[in-house]
Amino acid sequence: MDSTVGEVMTTRVVSVTEEADYKKIVATMVEYGVGALPVIARDGRVIGVVSEGDLLYKEEFKEDDAYRPPVRSRLRDRLRGTGLQASPPAAKAAGRRAADLMTRPAVTIRTGASVVEAARLIERCGIRHLPVVDDSGCLKGMISRRNLLLVFLHDDDDITETVQAELAVAMRSIRIEHPAAAVHDGVVTLSGTVERRSEAQKLVRRVSGVEGVVSVPVGPDWRTDDVVPAYVQWNSGA
């Protein structure tokens, strides 16, 4: 079973209010060793996130006579089409409070969501930190890319047990002779024999999806190659 966000998130989370000033935000980040802070409204809801990147605008956009914002900085404000709204670079550079500096609305996730959902959301939005909220939108924790990597620290014995369970389910529809799995540092080697190559590929994909599995470089043997290369199919229809 996939781990949930609630199981891997950091629960000791520090936040700031909309009124927090620039120096207060910087001091809080340094004191607690974090790279982003949720911004909390008076009712406890998460309304935005202020990150190190937001704060660096003040240094990056100090102007002189020949100054023009770097292409990298101009492009990143498009936020990859995610719908997130960030203040223009000049506005952030002049910002004094969290309300001026933060990216809003906050991208958040619920405690019951899977780590897979969290990873996809972080990647899609191009962010590094994700506030975890309850049904009311109030802060419960924080999850980062580092938190998501914890799933790969599962013990090999635990992974083996889960892989064997997955093979047992697969054997309801795929006949596998002498099935076995060996796990070392999260890398799985499958042995046994199936009738078709496509079945071997299905087994590899299924096991690759097990939480904690790093890779499955070796799959079961097969007797019949029923996987026709795309170029052969194209030529046959020409």
CATH class of the domain whose range is 154-224: alpha beta
Do the beta carbons of residue 61 and residue 90 sit within 8 Å?
yes
Question: CA 23 to CA 7: how far, in whole Å?
Answer: 33
Average pLDDT over residues 91-106: 82
**3-state SS track over the chain:** CCCEHHHHCECCCCCEECCCEHHHHHHHHHHHCCCEEEEECCCCEEEEEEEHHHHHHHHHCCCCCCCCCCHHHHHHCCHHHCCCECCCHHHHHHCCEHHHHCEECCCCEECCCEHHHHHHHHHHHCCCEEEEECCCCEEEEEEEHHHHHHHHHCCHHHHHHHHHHHHHHHCCCCCCEEEEEEEECCEEEEEEEEEEHHHHHHHHHHHHCCCCCCEEEECCEEEECCCCCHHHHHHHCC
User: How many C-alpha atoms does 86 have within 13 Å on its Cβ side?
Assistant: 26
Q: pLDDT confidence of 71, banded at 50, 70, 90?
A: very low
Question: CA 77 to CA 67: how far, in whole Å?
Answer: 18
Give the model confidence (pLDDT) of 112-151 as tens digits: 998 889 998 998 988 889 999 999 999 999 999 888 888 8
> pTM of the full predicted structure?
0.65
Question: CA 143 to CA 49: how far, in whole Å?
Answer: 13
Q: In the block, which residue shows the tokens 């906050």?
A: 106
CB count, 10 Å around CB of 186?
17
Enter the CATH code of domain 5-151.
3.10.580.10
Q: pLDDT confidence of 98, banded at 50, 70, 90?
A: very high
Query: Nearest CA to 13 among 144, 98, 139?
Result: 139
Give the model confidence (pLDDT) of 15-34 as tens digits: 999 999 999 999 999 999 99
Q: In the block, which residue shows the tokens 């620039």?
A: 22
Average pLDDT over residues 37-54: 93
Share above pLDDT 90 across residues of the chain, in percent, rounded to a whole number:
58
Give the gyration radius of the chain's Cα atoms.
24
For the chain, domain boundaries: 5-151, 154-224
